[in-house]
Amino acid sequence: MYNIIDGKAISAKIKEELKEQVAELKSHGAEICLAVIQVGDDKASSVYVNNKKKACEYIGIESLSYHLPAETKEAELLELIESLNQNSKVNGILVQLPVPEHIDEDRVIKAISPMKDVDGFHPESVGALSIGQSGFVSCTPAGIIQLLKRSNVEITGKECVVVGRSNIVGKPMALLLLRENGTVTICHSRTRDLKEVTKRADILVVAIGKPKFIDESYVKDGAVVIDVGIHRNEDNKLCGDVDFDSVAPKTSYITPVPGGVGPMTIAMLMHNVVEAYHMQNK
Ligand code: NDP
């Protein structure tokens, strides 16, 4: 019988812990603040930004919101970021991605001070992770480590296979599993025999972006399967990169979609904002 990893419950627990920490900090006069910038009116981005604001409110973090028109010039956005870098009241800065095409995403990411880079996308944050130094870690993979740890899944010595090598999920995920002493393999679209590799995995993390791509033939008996994908199927229902119904019976632990990895991303963002406060007030 497999266990479902309940990301909703685990993220609620993390938010509760953060709420207590923030209340304690506030009782000593601290104020913690996240600045959220959205450029344009992308619907999905608006939902994400709104959820982030709600999470801040729940935990007791102040959020400053900047909603700029889609035609905002890159220079104007960079200027705003720089003013927030200089603003000592602001602990974390987040620019909701994607930005409109005329704006260079890499330049925007690099403009955020590494001390306030709560998304963990700045090259300095990524570099720190790759050489085992402390720094902000991309929220989704950091959330997956929490899911594993809080479900008492041992990582040390395990064969860990990550399918997907994006900068925000696959690569940092592999580095985090390595930091936890897993034996890590990264797969991507050019991997020659994907099944042969995924079937070796004790822990399989799937971040491909293709609905129900991974079926039971890719999975070893008793594996732990983490599904990062989010899609809407033909019936407008959410599903992941993993075909849950066929894969779950083979696993020891599996994350569902929805209610697995998804809720962890915002919880870890909130964690990073509190972490930013501590870093800046050492
Ligand atoms: P990207 O599209 O940036 O990356 C997908 C990766 O999968 C690439 O590295 C690609 O390889 C690889 N890939 C594609 N097809 C295959 C294949 N047939 N076999 C093996 N590898 C393949 O996606 P993201 O990492 O940004 O996101 C992945 C999924 O996770 C999406 O569904 C996204 O919506 C979801 N997501 C969910 C989050 C959450 O909070 N739950 C947060 C972020 C993402 P190559 O590099 O060779 O092209």
Interval 214-238: pLDDT, tens: 999 999 999 999 999 999 988 899 9
Residues 171 and 208 in one domain: yes
Assess if residue 274 is contained within a domain. Answer: no
Average pLDDT, the chain: 97
Interval 32-49: pLDDT, tens: 999 999 999 999 999 999
Residue 269: partners with Cβ closer than 8 Å, 6 or more residues away: 52, 55, 94, 118, 119, 139
Q: What is the pLDDT of residue 230?
A: 96
Residues 189 and 256 in one domain: yes
Please name the residue that has the structure tokens 């480590």.
145
Assess if residue 134 is contained within a domain. Answer: no
Contact status, residue 214 vs residue 247, Cβ threshold 8 Å: yes
Q: Among the atoms of ligand 1, which is closest to the Cα of residue 188?
A: 21
pTM comes to 0.97
Residues 110 and 147 in one domain: no
Assess if residue 239 is contained within a domain. Answer: yes
Residues 94 and 160 in one domain: no
DSSP string, 31-50: --EEEEEEES--HHHHHHHH
- Does the Cβ of 54 fall within 6 Å of ligand 1? no
Residues 143 and 250 in one domain: yes
- Does the Cβ of 262 fall within 6 Å of ligand 1? yes
Q: Which amino acid is at 273?
A: V
Assess if residue 89 is contained within a domain. Answer: yes
Residue nearest to atom 1 of ligand 1 (CA): 166
Last residue of a domain, one of 115, 149, 168: 115
Q: What is the pLDDT of residue 234?
A: 85
CATH code of the domain covering residue 46: 3.40.50.10860
Parent domain of 90:
29-115
Q: What is the pLDDT of residue 233?
A: 86
Residues 86 and 175 in one domain: no
Q: What is the pLDDT of residue 282?
A: 86
Residues 157 and 252 in one domain: yes
Residues 159 and 240 in one domain: yes
Choose which residue among 52, 161, 166 to substitute to test ligand 1 binding: the one with the highest number of ligand atoms within 8 A of its C-beta: 166
Residues 45 and 146 in one domain: no
Q: What's the CA-to-centroid distance between 198 and ligand 1, angstroms?
A: 15
Assess if residue 49 is contained within a domain. Answer: yes
* 96 labelled catalytic: yes
Assess if residue 88 is contained within a domain. Answer: yes
How many structural domains is the chain composed of? 2
Residue nearest to atom 35 of ligand 1 (CA): 229
* 38 labelled catalytic: no
Last residue of a domain, one of 81, 115, 149: 115
Interval 232-267: pLDDT, tens: 988 899 999 999 999 999 999 999 999 999 999 999
Interval 153-207: pLDDT, tens: 999 999 999 999 999 999 999 999 999 999 999 999 999 999 999 999 999 999 9
Angle of helix 262-280 versus helix 139-150 axis, rounded to 10: 100
Residues 105 and 153 in one domain: no
Assess if residue 131 is contained within a domain. Answer: no
Assess if residue 170 is contained within a domain. Answer: yes
Task: Report the 3 state secondary structure along 52-120.
Answer: HHHHHHHHCCEEEEEEECCCCCHHHHHHHHHHHHHCCCCCEEEECCCCCCCCCHHHHHHHCCHHHCCCC
Residues 192 and 244 in one domain: yes
CATH code of the domain covering residue 247: 3.40.50.720
Residues 99 and 204 in one domain: no
Last residue of a domain, one of 60, 81, 115: 115
Q: Among the atoms of ligand 1, which is closest to the Cα of residue 170?
A: 25
